[in-house]
């Protein structure tokens, strides 16, 4: 378990119906844990995600973009809205 930062708590407040309802802690997974999953669903929305999605899925596999390793996963599904897919 990891304590969520104040900025994360504020960013997720709307999803949980108020800042006081956002869980204060979350699970953390390393890249090895993620890659060991049988199936990965990558979900992103909004134009502010478009560049990192492009770098993760179309750029080189690099530690600078940890999500780029998802290119190697045999069972990856990607769900993007139109803005994130730009």
Reported as a single tens digit per residue, the pLDDT across 22-38 is 999 999 999 999 999 99
Which pLDDT band holds residue 70 (cuts at 50, 70, 90)? very high
Which pLDDT band holds residue 86 (cuts at 50, 70, 90)? very high
Average pLDDT estimate for 55-83: 98
Residue with tokens 């999803």: 15
pLDDT at 5: 94
Strands (E), 16-70: 25-26, 40-44
Please state, for a pLDDT cut of 90, what percent of the chain lies above it. Answer: 97
CA dist 85 and 46 (Å) reads 9
* CB-based contacts of 74, cutoff 8 Å, min separation 6: none
């Amino acid at each position: 378990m990891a304590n969520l930062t104040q900025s994360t708590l504020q960013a997720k407040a709307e999803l949980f119906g108020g800042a006081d309802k956002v869980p204060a802690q979350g699970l953390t997974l390393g890249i090895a844990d993620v890659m060991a999953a049988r199936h990965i669903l990558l979900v992103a929305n909004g134009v502010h995600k478009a560049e990192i999605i492009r770098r993760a899925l179309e750029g080189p596999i690099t530690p600078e973009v940890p999500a780029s390793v998802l290119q190697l996963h045999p069972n990856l599904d990607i769900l993007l809205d139109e803005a994130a897919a730009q």
